[in-house]
Amino acid sequence: MHIIDRRLNPRGKSLENRQRFLRRAKDAVQQAVRRSLQSRSIRDVLDGGEVSLPIGGMDEPSFRRAEGGIRDNVLPGNRAFVEGDIIPRPPGQGAGRPKEAGQGDGEDGFRFVLTREEFLSVFLDDLELPELAKRRLSETEEMSPVRAGYSISGSPSNLSIDRTTRLAMMRRIALKRPKPEEIEALQRQIDEAENEETRLLLQAELKALTDRVRRIPYVDPLDVRYRRFENEPKPVAKAVMFCLMDVSGSMSEHMKDLAKRFYLLLYLFLSQRYEKVEIVFIRHTEKAEEVDEETFFYGQATGGTLVSSALVAMRSIIAARFDPTEWNIYAAQASDGDNSYRDEGPAGHLLKDEILPLCQYFAYIEVDEESGDSSVSNSPLWRLYEGIRSGSATLAMRKVCRKNEIFPVFHDLFQKRTAQTKAVP
């Protein structure tokens, strides 16, 4: 008999089958992820999670009998029946057949758990991101080499001279390699020696010493050490993300959904890049307030629209909690483009002179109904921002009607990063 311990076998034997299944069920999975995105908060987008799929489309058909027809069954546990009894059928059932084994579970839906990577990849797929951006978002953050001790192999440029000479010295001492002074002293003794006998004796001694010096090298390959580096994810710093949204009555559900995806995408980007990401939600009508995520997306508010109110709120929050020297400040603003005319001056001034200089990046999307045309816009806010954009690289803007149009607003953000990574050797 053999006993084999299989527990240490590599895990994930069924991974490939699983991927095939996910690919096959792509549409259904995407639907499910979309549904679960609506209910999940921005911070949780990075976790995988359970999704529920309708069973259709992935069934494995076989020839099976339908219900109906004459049924003849043997059952255990007769208590009171005698032959010839007629049992009325239970109401609601065509034929009073007992349920067969295995029926009943998994019929109405099919729940299973997606890993974080799978979830993210479906989400990004859904946004129709360019491949490159997709990779950047789902891969772990930038690596930077960090010193991590010494190794016995490496490139000559990483040779650690200190450590090598120290080890060489230890070895020389341990093996009693004669010092040059000793040899010199002996040489002097020989030169000064008077009688031939001692001179010969000393010369033999000297020979032994020089032989020893030859046998024990000054630096042996054994002593050589190299500086070792390990790649560590690079925690750049802290970042804060301001989500600004116009919640006046003109924003429809579809628009809010677009906005949510827009924030998600920025959050995803930031959380890859920064160790710590704070999110501040500011909603505004004619006055702005900081709220939690729930209220931000689902709370009701009515009123006019004053964009400057949100910018003022943002400025004061920055002043109070986020010192620009310590925090990288990002802002994402979503609006349907309405703004009151009297606000144009103050808002433009605020953005250009006070907010933008503090921000790494300010992304603005103008959301519209799905049927809208995303190529033209002449809303008051758009015209205002258009004017500011020409003078500043940190402001990105885009009009969005469908969800695959969200990504381009971040185009520069990803571009910039590519340029940065290229610059570092």
Binding site for other proteins (CB under 8 A): 1-7, 9, 11, 13-14, 16-25, 50, 58-66, 68-79, 81-89, 94-102, 105-106, 110-113
Q: Choose between 87 and 376: whose C-beta lies nearer to other proteins.
A: 87
Q: Choose between 115 and 420: whose C-beta lies nearer to other proteins.
A: 115
- Residue 95: phi and psi, rounded to 5, are -120, 135
Gap between the Cα atoms of 61 and 66, Å rounded? 13
| Through-space distance between the first and last CA atoms of the chain, rounded to whole angstroms | 58
Chain-centroid distance of CA 411 in Å reads 18
**DSSP-assigned letters across all residues of 197-248:** HHHHHHHHHHHHHHHHHHHS-SS-GGG--EEEEEEEE----EEEEEEEEE-S
Q: Choose between 116 and 342: whose C-beta lies nearer to other proteins.
A: 116
CB of 25 to other proteins, least distance (A): 8
CB of 120 to other proteins, least distance (A): 18
CB of 6 to other proteins, least distance (A): 5
CB of 235 to other proteins, least distance (A): 33
Q: Choose between 3 and 161: whose C-beta lies nearer to other proteins.
A: 3
Tokens of residue 343, six digits: 């606000």
Reduced to 3 states (helix: H, G, I; strand: E, B; else coil), residue 295 is helix
Q: Choose between 74 and 320: whose C-beta lies nearer to other proteins.
A: 74
Q: Choose between 16 and 326: whose C-beta lies nearer to other proteins.
A: 16
Question: Which residue is it, tokens 């993300």?
Answer: 241
CB of 155 to other proteins, least distance (A): 39
Q: Residue 380 contacts by C-beta under 8 Å, 6 or more apart in sequence?
A: 337, 338, 339, 340, 341, 344
- Residue 82: phi and psi, rounded to 5, are -120, 165
CB of 219 to other proteins, least distance (A): 50
